[in-house]
Amino acid sequence: MTNLTDLTVAAIRDGVAAGTFSAVEVAEAFNARVAAAQALNAFIVTTPEAALDAARKVDADRAAGNALGKLAGVPIGMKDLFATKGVQTTAASHMLEGFTPQYESTVSQKLWDAGAGMLGKLNLDQFAMGSSNETSYFGNVISPWRRNDGSTAAMAPGGSSGGSSAAIAARLCPAATGTDTGGSIRQPAAFTGISGIKPTYGRCSRWGIVAFASSLDQAGPMARDVRDCAIMLEAMAGFDPKDSTSLDMAVPNWEASLNADMKGKKVGIPREYRVDGLDADVAKSWDDGIAWLKDAGAEIVEISLPHTKYALPAYYIIAPAEASSNLARYDGVRYGLRDLPDGANLQEMYAATRAAGFGAEVKRRILIGTYVLSAGFYDAYYTQAQKVRALIARDFELAFQHCDVILAPTAPTAAFGLGEKTADPLAMYLNDVFAVPASLAGLPAMSVPAGLNREGLPLGLQIVGRPFDEQGVLNAGLAIEARAQFSAKPEQWW
């Protein structure tokens, strides 16, 4: 008998549609697997009843001969950054602990409309700020992966979408939502041997997603393979009049147009990403990727993205600047945590509430953001960073005159152990060095598994495409996937 929790999104969808198994059977299988995986701490809350309700509706629709949605019968995990009506939405913060929205985010609503069901709300770095999931107020997620030296050291699942990545890698859900501000889909996907795509900025509505940095935040799917990402993205994307930055463009049929043939395509290899001291296994996987795409018919060209080294500093000005303002609404006045010491006035209530409600990393970024926007510093930091951002976008524009997609590592290393980088924020930030440029330029970018390093930990390859060319990105990802033949999965220890 098929193990339902080993199936992909496509297989579940097709199996439910064909009647091979029922949606309720699928939901029950995943609910059980989620319940048995508490050691991973991937979920902040589980919603088995929501998954079952959605499944029952799909089964009833099928029985009645009604048309089924694109994700009919597929239970998924929802990053706890998406507002879900009637279900606690925390952004992994104490500030929003117990906050239950009376509204549903546009993206999650689209997924439910497509027939998906919710297994639960996935853990993440607090307010999506972090690269290891260690900033969550609800405790860090533990990656299902371990080093192959027999060590039981807990590994980081990446971040901020670390609950999503860990849950998919551990087969707790076939797919999940993520959000990516500076690598938060791609880096955790790479760390856990799964796929994830951040579409072009504006493809997915931001309405109802707890904001981190508005000009960078973008929702996207995470799943085990490229096809599943395409299916999920089709359901998630689309113009939303409630989001002024939403793209008013039709959603292409990405799944139907998947094509791993790279003949006639040029793949750019950015020279600036080959930094000194690049991890040897990462460098090798990059070379493998180049060979695979060449094998798929692509022409490989060297390109230059000269402002790459300024991307991370610019990102760590712009994102905190926006965050410092976006997080001002958490003030204890209307919802969420209120800490009102005896006799406190308004200012004291703000101070007490925000001191108690935000974690150290969130506070660090609010401080950075407040600083760079302050009178006297604004031009030196924020204005300058915006100029850098424009130059980085220009770098890509010029590069795409010579190539169709860009191939690079997703992250400079494989997963690190929990606690290894918490003392050094800069080392942590450097994890996103390859992911951040595409975020600043608003470009579609995905990570696909490329293999394991010598420690037995997954490595990811990143494909960056032209604006709106998610298809080109997915196709290159598919070409790699077909050749990488990545079939490793974490041994179950939990």
- Would you tell me which residues interact with other proteins (CB under 8 A)? 82-83, 89, 91, 96, 99, 101-103, 105, 206-211, 213-215, 241-245, 321-322, 324-325, 327-329, 331, 333-335, 346-347, 350, 370, 373-375, 378, 382
Q: Pick the catalytic residue from 93, 131, 132, 160.
A: 160
Length reported for the chain? 494
Strand 218-223 versus strand 195-198 pairing type: antiparallel
Question: Of the residues 22, 70, 79, 131, which is catalytic?
Answer: 79
Active site residue 195: no
Residues sharing a CB contact under 8 Å with residue 296, sequence separation 6 or more, in sequence order:
260, 261, 262, 263, 479, 482, 483
| Shortest separation between residue 128's beta carbon and other proteins, angstroms | 12
Catalytic site includes residue 184: yes
The reply to whether 324 belongs to the active site is no
Shortest Cβ 215–other proteins spacing (Å): 4
Cα–Cα distances (Å) from 210 to 45, 105, 175, 477, in that order, read 17, 9, 20, 29
Judged by beta carbon, residue 91 or residue 168, the one nearer other proteins is 91
Helices (H), 400-469: 425-429, 436-440
Report residue 448 as tokens. 């696909």
Tokens for 117, please give them.
Answer: 């069901």
Cβ proximity to other proteins, 165 vs 324, nearer residue: 324
Report which of 105, 33, 19, 130 is spatially closest to residue 75, judged by C-alpha positions.
33
Q: For the stretch 87-102, what's the b/e string if a residue is b when 16 or more beta carbons lie within 10 angstroms of its beta carbon?
A: bbbbbbbbbbbebebe
3-state secondary structure of 470: helix
Among the options 108, 165, 184, 447, which is catalytic?
A: 184
State the minimum distance, in angstroms, from the CB of residue 430 to other proteins. 24
Distance (Å, rounded) from C-alpha 188 to C-alpha 140? 13
> Of the two residues 120 and 208, which places its CB atom closer to other proteins in the complex?
208
* Rounded CA separation 6/8 (Å): 7
Q: For residues 231 and 431, what is the distance between their CA atoms, to the nearest angstrom?
A: 28
Q: How far apart are the first and last CA of the chain?
A: 23
Partners of residue 459 on adjacent β-strands: 451
Name the residues annotated as catalytic: 79, 160, 184
